[in-house]
Structure 1
């Protein structure tokens, strides 16, 4: 990796952390320059505009999420073990307010703002829901889950459990948030088992 690419990666990491705290729409080349101590012109050379900066931060967060959640889950045995691994890795990403939190906050920011950032968020969420449903589907074929279980409904329900967790942990600072989330996830698995 060249020095320029290494610098850009470091800036994207900082920008993703900042965006998860202040929101993706609040992230600008100026605010990032102030946050990183870099010049605006140096950052402009990397990103060219606020919109490209935001799109690249979103792409960076997506790659982090895939690397931290999806790929490790795919390394687990097929079936319930893989679905549980996905949940555990997803829950682990919330400890440092990383990419998962950015997707939650950006979704709230952009849910009724048409444009390329919203379009990418929609694609990312649909792709992830499809991944969860596919992991669940393999659990059906492995005999871990009921044949009549609905993979898309399971993906929807797991996402709902995780959204409740983000709300309880980040906004309400509920000390029982993780325990309640684990309980809700275990109930979903129990209802789906063969």
Structure 2
């Protein structure tokens, strides 16, 4: 099911997560554990995440951590959902302030690239999780696929809006364009994180504009000067 918070036409997209005025102690403890789990999983991956490892990092008992998540699988799924929430708050929500069409699509890509560049030293759970769970069916893989698919659906929606706005040619294939854009992100992650090649971010930006160039119309707004 598509996540309504990633629908550009849904008001909820501007209020992704409403914080309660007063969290109970149990909720605060769970949030603390989840924060530690996010950091740990970025270093050792979702597969390396365990109740025992998290208990050691948070200086809690295993039973204390278990009481908040119940199982290692539930812990992993909770980490995926929290990562997705932060991902959309950082990339999707602020991009909705841009005009529909090419400005919004460019903002989504640029913010995505910025996040990948920041995650060079920690890793992207979407990408590392795909390597860990690509051939391992189960609830963790299902949760990971659902989050990535939700993000892809949001990007495809942004591409379609750019077509509707007359910025991209009517014969543009949203699925194909998304595939090529996602390919740039994977290449960026590989070159920046694994190869440590300088200039990878700039090359990703140039690649994005080159891909767009094949689909732009005469009325498409130009790339903003930097």
Q: Tell me which interval the TM-score lies in, with the shorter structure as reference length.
A: over 0.9
TM-score (norm: length of structure 1):
0.94
Deviation at 1:100, TM superposition (A): 7.5
Q: Match for residue 8 of structure 2? A: none
Residue number among 36, 40, 48 corresponding to 1:18 in the alignment: 40
Deviation at 1:81, TM superposition (A): 0.5
Q: Which structure 2 residue ranges, 5 or more long, are not aligned?
A: 1-22, 218-226
Contact 2:34 2:79 (C-alpha < 8 Å) held by counterparts: yes
- Asked if residue 51 in structure 1 is aligned to residue 73 in structure 2, the reply is yes
Q: Which moved more, 1:85-94 or 1:155-164?
A: 85-94
After TM superposition, list the pairs within 5 Å mapping 1:60-71 onto structure 2: 60-71=82-93
Q: Which moved more, 1:102-111 or 1:33-42?
A: 33-42
Q: Match for residue 31 of structure 2? A: 9
After TM superposition, list the pairs within 5 Å mapping 1:66-145 onto structure 2: 66-97=88-119, 101-145=124-168
Which structure has the larger Rg?
2
CA distance in 2, matches of 1:63, 1:100: 17
Contact 2:51 2:72 (C-alpha < 8 Å) held by counterparts: yes
**Which has the higher relative contact order, 1 or 2, with Cα contacts under 8 A spaced 6 or more apart?**
2
**In the comparison of the two structures, how many residue pairs are matched?**
194
Q: Which runs of 4+ in 1 moved over 4 A?
A: none
After TM superposition, list the pairs within 5 Å mapping 1:178-189 onto structure 2: 178-189=201-212
- 1:104-161 CA-to-partner distances (Å, cap 9, x unmatched) read 1001100000111111222222221111111010001111111111111111111110
